[in-house]
Amino acid sequence: MENIDQIVDVGDVITEEIILSAKGQLVDIKNFVIQTTVYEDIFSNVMTGVLLLRDAANLINEYKLNGKEQVIVKFRSPGFSDAGVIKKTFYISSIKGRTIGEKDQIYALFLISIEGAIDNITKISKKFKGKTDNVITEVFNEYLRQEKRLVSYASHNTNIALVSTYWSPLKIINWICNRSFENAPNILFYEGNKNFYLTSLEKLFQSRDYGTYSYIPSANSGDFSLAERFSFISDISNLDHYDIFKGQDYGYYSSRLITHDITLKQYKEFQHNHYSYRENIESLDEFTIFPANLSNPDNYRMVRTKQYGMFPEKEDPQYEVWAMKRNSLMYEANNFKMTIAVPGKTDIEVGNTINVFLPRSTAKEADVSTPNFFDPYLSGRYLITGIRHQFSLNKHQMFLEIMKESFQLSME
């Protein structure tokens, strides 16, 4: 955490800018905004947002809002440097929920990153070839880059040859990510509130923890310092612990791949067992969540057709290397999730890891320092996969979507 001396209470935030850019003018609309919501997610290529306005100046007609306007937002936790602010320029993608009164009107401006708006109207017909991380960087810099740069934590072990038939830039990037890997095929391309990122789930799991959050429902906040109260969880969503049948139907535990090469007239079969594969890749904690005896590869069969030698740069798409493994890894990243409500800070970002301590749901001593107070399975390291930032009346609350795919203790 940066310098918090200027913070009076947890969740304090300075709304530095909410500016509407319309008809060649920059209009400060801070006083009209009831609430600002900003979304970021590691499974979403771009950020989105919503502004809820109470408009007593008829802005919607005065500036003829019709979809060509931009909104610039900038929020800062008191005492945080420029590196710790949330600043973003959005396009207005839609206006919804307009309620007209006698003296004012209320409506919501739905926002999308400029990069997302550009992607929607950009079609590419071109051949790309080379290392997959280099091709993704090339596509981003040539067709999408605006305010933010692309930070790449990945050095891929894969090459690609691709002819884009009027695909959008993000469709190209996602197609390549599905086929890319370092140690494992879990490459992601997403926008955080500071930069765009090209990285892998393994790299995110290995990153240094941002901080610690604890859920202590009986705690009296007056007994704790300001810094300690920043780590309090005020609410937790329901947690879907696991669904064995769903995992089997989606090929999470194991799967079978059949490839058909239409040039060589060959069929081949490959099998994936996720329990044994997990031993070779990085995880948040030590022990896998599911037992070893849940696998039957015939529960989930996939067929891929290929043409050997279609591109001289890459003779074989190697579906057996990535298709089944990525299917399991992406399911796993969305399997064990919950949402926690915590005080807002503008230096946090999706892709950070955190330590979370949740109480055991049994009769126990009230002292949180006792070893049996916290649940040894639910507590541990989590990855922040999504954040809903909610700003209103100079207060900032965050709803963190967090996941884990392993426990500190064995379930067996």
SS (H, E, C) the chain: CCCCCCCCCCCECEEEEEEEEECCEEEECHHHEEEEEEEEECCCCCCEEEEEEEECCCHHHHCCCCCCCEEEEEEECCCCCHHHCEEEEEEEEEEEEEEECCCCEEEEEEEEEHHHHHHHCCCEEEEEEEEHHHHHHHHHHHHHCCCCCEEECCCCCCEEEEEEEEECHHHHHHHHHHCCCCCCCCEEEEECCCCEEEEEHHHHHHCCEEEEEECCCCCCHHHCCHHHHCCECCEECCCCCCCHHHHHHCCCCEEEEEEEECCCCEEEEEEEEHHHHHHHCCCCCCEECCCHHHCCHHHCEEEEEECCCCECCECCCCHHHHHHHHHHHHHHHCCCEEEEEEECCCCCCCCCEEEEECECCCCCCCCCCCCCCECCCCCEEEEEEEEEEEEECCEEEEEEEEECCEECCCCC
Please report, rounded to a whole number, the percentage of residues in the chain having pLDDT higher than 70.
93
Claim to verify: residue 66 and residue 100 sit in the same structural domain = yes
Work out the mean pLDDT of the chain and round it to a whole number: 90
pLDDT tens for 229-264 read 889 999 999 887 788 888 889 999 999 999 999 888
What's the whole-model pTM score? 0.93
Claim to verify: residue 92 and residue 25 sit in the same structural domain = yes
How many domains in the chain?
A: 4
pLDDT recorded at residue 40: 98
Claim to verify: residue 112 and residue 18 sit in the same structural domain = yes
pLDDT recorded at residue 128: 94
Q: Would the pLDDT of 315 be above 70?
A: no
Claim to verify: residue 52 and residue 182 sit in the same structural domain = no
Q: Would the pLDDT of 220 be above 70?
A: no
Claim to verify: residue 197 and residue 214 sit in the same structural domain = no
395 inside domain: no
2 inside domain: no
27 inside domain: yes
Claim to verify: residue 223 and residue 249 sit in the same structural domain = no
What does the pLDDT average to over 318-345?
A: 93
Of the ranges 1-5, 109-113, 222-226, which is most confident?
109-113
Residue that is last in its domain, among 326, 351, 372 = 326
Claim to verify: residue 195 and residue 207 sit in the same structural domain = no
Among 1-10, 53-62, 87-96, the range scoring the smallest mean pLDDT is: 1-10
CATH value at residue 37: 2.40.10.10
Of the ranges 285-299, 334-348, 366-380, which is most confident?
334-348
Residue that is last in its domain, among 309, 326, 343 = 326
Claim to verify: residue 109 and residue 156 sit in the same structural domain = no
Q: Which domain holds residue 59?
A: 14-117
Claim to verify: residue 226 and residue 340 sit in the same structural domain = yes
6 inside domain: no
Q: How far is CA 372 from CA 220, 279, 298, 361, 367, in A?
A: 20, 29, 42, 11, 10
Residue that is last in its domain, among 117, 148, 172 = 117
Q: Would the pLDDT of 7 be above 90?
A: no
9 inside domain: no
141 pLDDT band, cuts 50/70/90, is very high
pLDDT recorded at residue 307: 84
217 burial via Cβ count (<10 Å: 0-12, 13-18, 19+): exposed
pLDDT recorded at residue 9: 86
Claim to verify: residue 128 and residue 179 sit in the same structural domain = yes
pLDDT recorded at residue 370: 62
What does the pLDDT average to over 340-345?
A: 95
7 inside domain: no
Claim to verify: residue 141 and residue 208 sit in the same structural domain = no
Claim to verify: residue 274 and residue 351 sit in the same structural domain = no
321 inside domain: yes
394 inside domain: no
CA distance 407 to 41: 23
Q: How far is CA 190 from CA 315, 346, 404, in A?
A: 29, 18, 19
Q: Would the pLDDT of 351 be above 70?
A: yes
Q: Would the pLDDT of 156 be above 80?
A: yes
Q: Do 406 and 48 meet the contact criterion of CB atoms below 8 Å apart?
A: no
pLDDT tens for 357-390 read 998 876 555 566 666 788 888 999 999 999 999 9
pLDDT recorded at residue 316: 78
pLDDT tens for 14-50 read 999 999 999 889 999 999 999 999 999 999 999 999 9
